[in-house]
Amino acid sequence: MKHSGRTWVGTVLIIIGLLMLLDRFGAVDFNEVFRTYWPLLLVFMGGWILFRHSGSRAAGRLETIEIAGDVHATSTADRVAESNVFGNININIRSSAFSGGKVSTVFGNVTVDLTGSALATGDQALAVETVFGEVMVLVPAGFQVKVSADAVLGSVTVNGQKRNGILPAAEWTSEGYTGSLSRLRIEASAVLGGVLFTPVVR
């Protein structure tokens, strides 16, 4: 993925790998280090999400930052920026020209329902990132989409293709994506969580 989600996933893997290597050589006790310091990962991820979404809100953009609470909303915004820590977010987008955005969770579940939306002309992108949570993205069956999903110790399900394990990944491209004037690229990543994408016929 090109967005920052791939960067922090890579960083976490490198740190864990180095600690395990040092444990093997007897330099550190990996179990003790992990038991003592794993909450720092949550602090880092929560701070990163809040900082990343703390900028100004643009017109036509739905932006929500929620801590320890649930949010249920219907919006006609063309872009979405959702962050959640210790709570669930359920967003029903009813945009006539949806142009993507970002969704991030830590210890919470998020549902983004686009089944009542239409895509803006051109290439649009939706990034989905979760840590200790589940993300579900629903799109109309007529959307032209390209989906790339991966996880670290989690699961991904893309249009019926399910992958579980240490580093599961799945990709899917709708049949008319390449020649379409309006198309959506979805990039999703999960750490100790799951991602579900499905087209819905309504």
Contact present, 132 and 84 (Cβ < 8 Å): no
Higher pLDDT, 132 or 37: 132
Mean pLDDT across the chain, nearest whole number? 79
Q: Hey, where are the domains in the chain?
A: 4-200
> Residue type for 52, please?
R
pLDDT digits (tens, 9 = 90+) for 121-173: 999 999 888 888 888 899 998 899 999 988 877 889 998 889 988 888 899 99
Q: In 3D, which of 40, 89, 48 has the Cα closest to residue 68?
A: 89
